[in-house]
Amino acid sequence: MAALGVVFGDIGTSPLYALREAFGGVGAPPLDRPDLLGVMSLILWALVLVISIKYLAFILRADNQGEGGIIALVALLNPWRSSADQPRYWLMLLGLFGACLLYGDGTITPAISVLSAVEGLHVAAPLLDSYVVPITIVILIGLFSLQRHGSSRIGGLFGPVMLLWFLVLAVLGVRGILVEPAILAAFNPWYAISFFASNGLTGYLTLGAVFLVVTGGEALYADLGHFGASPIRRAWFLLVFPALVLNYLGQGALLLAQPDAIQAPFFHLAPEWAAIPLVVLATTATIIASQAVISATFSLTRQAIRLGQLPRMQVIYTHAEESGQVYLPLVNWLLMIACVALVIGFGSSEALASAYGVAVSMDMVVTTILAVAVARRFAWHPLLAVGAGALFVIIDSAFLGANLAKIPDGGWYACVIAALIFLMMWSWRAGRAMLAGHLAERSTSQEAFLGQIEHTPVHRVPGVAVVLTGRDDPNIPAALVHHLACTGVLHEQVLLLNVVTADRPRVPAAERLDIAVLGQGLMRVRVHYGFSQTPNIPVALKLGEHAGLPVDTDSAIYLLSRETLIPRRGLRGLPRLQQWVYLWMTRNAARATAYFHLPEERVLELGLQVVLN
């Protein structure tokens, strides 16, 4: 039940617009019996091949300790542990670009879903036609405004509402099939083959509209960690798949009997008395689908931050017990602005459909490639993995080629969003690597620092100092060296603490800390978290205290370095654009104090000036 409310929202609302787009766009094939049966056959077999076989039987097996999604696959590649593995490095870049594409999809999905539902007023209440766009904007603004409260209070309603939605899809579909049972012939794949043979390039480009029925595949995979593979498979085969098949067949049967219903075949399936309730139910279902996409975008961003692909951002937890329910204000408001702009700019779901599908089709190709690349981790037979991967890449590439034709009509939008976010990720990684190199030059070897403490008069004050280091380095960080040089004072106990992000979603509390005693009151502490977890340093140190860490963390002082970055012209380093982007992100990154949940009154920031060259 819970999976229905989250996993299948995107794919479950595609019947609102998918079939209409196959025959409603410029250059679409004629709406005659052979072509309609051909398109219906393509839709049915797309659901079978892409969702039922590729995702449910193949891709869902490629999990990172139960976690799904493209970031989980990138983490399995483990590319940042060795820069010498070039193939793995390029696969990592490909995966990151795939993750960036999800942001483009994340702005289009709420806009097209809600807009297509509200457009049901064209059938239910034609006098309200002029209010479709304003109503959609109000719904979207309200949806994004409520994000800070979290979805846990109303989340329990998502499952029952989506259950009702899929049952209604099935009933409406049966109603249409009874009108024209001949539509059942679409199960014969020969109609799909004949469609391509008779329509040529036009038939191939129609795949761009057919693809709209499977755009929820990536969202299905991304939600693997929330529900597990078995509940997702059961929900799909027992309810979602039959309901979708029946509804698409019902719409096709309606068009066989009434070709003029092409402007809104979904809503024309319902009797007149049910038009308004159906619009309300469809709008509710699209809001739920949009909520799932928004929440997935929040989770994706948090994972990217944890893996060092994006700067720290403000993360607000909307549930006291569920760490996965998060709210990122900056991401939320940027998504809202983008969604509203899309609704105003395109004006209809038909126009928006021209922009939809490019990003998701690229993502599907990337996901297949990455799944094959990590197949050996799951003991898959090499021939089976490569053979299945090759088949799915061919299918995905066929859809991608058809969707690329949408770029001039709006498909460029998602690509531009993905390129901008990829530039940010690439600049952040490159900038952090350059900064780490500069700080390493200022650091001091462990032996030299301990010798300095032992043989040079250093005033030791009572208490514990926790020095946060940004990288796992055997040397003494520049911040502590700078602090000692300026003050001549050192706490009796000093913890050199580094947060290590594992290549798995979660690290159990028993494996949280690694502690090494260096001598002279210094200890090196590594705190391990998974990429789906959020670090809380005081809580982690409490675990160590209970496990025998000989410090009183309640009175600890936290020493952080705050670097002032100064770019230099004419010297080797980052390209100017990357340098500007990195500096901008650094200035706007959330403070480490809030991100690591440090007590404000016991944090001391040490300034360091770093020249980028």
Edge to edge, the sheet with strand 489-501 lists 513-519, 522-529, 489-501, 459-469, 557-567, 603-612
Average model confidence (pLDDT) for the chain? 85
Instruction: Please check whether residue 99 is in contact with residue 70, taking contact to mean a CB–CB distance below 8 angstroms.
Output: yes
Question: What are the beta bridge partners of residue 528?
Answer: 500
Indicate if the pLDDT at residue 11 is higher than 50.
yes
Tell me what percent of the residues of the chain surpass a pLDDT of 70.
92
| CA distances, 524 to each of 185, 225, 393, 482, 502 (Å) | 69, 33, 47, 18, 18
Task: At 318, list the tokens.
Answer: 């909307």
Counted residue by residue, the chain has a size of 613
Q: What is the mean pLDDT of residues 232-242?
A: 93
Residue type, 290: S
Q: What are phi and psi of 398, to 5 degrees?
A: -65, -45
Q: How confident is the model at residue 570 (pLDDT cuts 50, 70, 90)?
A: very low
CATH class of 2-410: mainly alpha
pLDDT at site 38: 94
Q: In whole angstroms, give the CA distance from residue 28 to residue 26.
A: 5
pLDDT at site 25: 63
pLDDT at site 568: 65
pLDDT at site 186: 94
Q: In whole angstroms, give the CA distance from residue 368 to residue 376.
A: 14
Indicate if the pLDDT at residue 81 is higher than 60.
no
* Choice among 219-233, 279-293, 492-506 with the minimum mean pLDDT: 219-233
Indicate if the pLDDT at residue 572 is higher than 60.
no
Q: What is the mean pLDDT of residues 12-19?
A: 90
Q: In whole angstroms, give the CA distance from residue 461 to residue 249.
A: 78
Q: What is the mean pLDDT of residues 240-265?
A: 93
Q: How confident is the model at residue 55 (pLDDT cuts 50, 70, 90)?
A: very high
Instruction: List where CATH 1.20.1740.10 sits in the chain.
Output: 2-410
Indicate if the pLDDT at residue 80 is higher than 50.
no
Q: In whole angstroms, give the CA distance from residue 191 to residue 188.
A: 6
Q: How confident is the model at residue 571 (pLDDT cuts 50, 70, 90)?
A: very low
Q: Is 577 exposed, middle or buried (0-12, 13-18, 19+ CB in 10 A)?
A: exposed
* Residues 308-350 pLDDT 10s: 888 888 877 776 555 556 788 999 999 999 999 999 999 888 8
Task: At 15, list the tokens.
Answer: 């019947």
Q: What are phi and psi of 403, to 5 degrees?
A: -75, -30
CB neighbour list of residue 401: distance below 8 Å, 6 or more residues apart: 204, 207
The three-state secondary structure class of 430 is helix
CB neighbour list of residue 234: distance below 8 Å, 6 or more residues apart: none
Strands 603-612 and 489-501 turn out to be unpaired
Higher pLDDT, 213 or 326: 213
pLDDT at site 171: 96
Question: Which of 349, 279, 238, 600 is closest to 268 using CA atoms?
Answer: 279
What's the distance, CA 584 to chain centroid? 23
* Choice among 26-35, 298-307, 406-415, 457-466 with the minimum mean pLDDT: 26-35
Angular region, 65: left φ>0, alpha ψ -120 to 50, beta rest: left
Q: In whole angstroms, give the CA distance from residue 450 to residue 444.
A: 10
Please report how many Cα atoms fall inside a 13 Å half-sphere around the Cα of residue 115, on the Cβ side. 26
Largest CA distance in the chain: 95
pLDDT at site 321: 55
pLDDT at site 319: 63
Q: Where are the alpha helices (DSSP H) in 263-381?
A: 265-268, 275-306, 329-346, 349-352, 358-373
pLDDT at site 549: 74
Estimate the crossing angle of helix 576-588 against helix 412-442, to 10 degrees: 80
Indicate if the pLDDT at residue 519 is higher than 70.
yes
pLDDT at site 26: 57
Task: At 24, list the tokens.
Answer: 């409603």
The pTM for the full model equals 0.83
State the first-to-last Cα distance of the chain, in angstroms, to the nearest integer: 56
DSSP notation for 508-535: -GGGSEEEEEEETTEEEEEEEE-TTS--
| CA distances, 578 to each of 32, 121, 612 (Å) | 53, 47, 12
Question: Which of 179, 191, 195 is closest to 250 using CA atoms?
Answer: 179
Instruction: Please check whether residue 352 is in contact with residue 115, taking contact to mean a CB–CB distance below 8 angstroms.
Output: yes
Q: Which residues in 187-199 are b (16+ Cβ under 10 Å) and which e?
A: eeeebbebbbeeb
Q: What are phi and psi of 294, to 5 degrees?
A: -65, -45
Q: What is the H or E stretch that residue 564 is in?
A: strand 557-567
pLDDT at site 40: 95
Q: What is the mean pLDDT of residues 224-249?
A: 89
Instruction: Please check whether residue 587 is in contact with residue 562, taking contact to mean a CB–CB distance below 8 angstroms.
Output: no
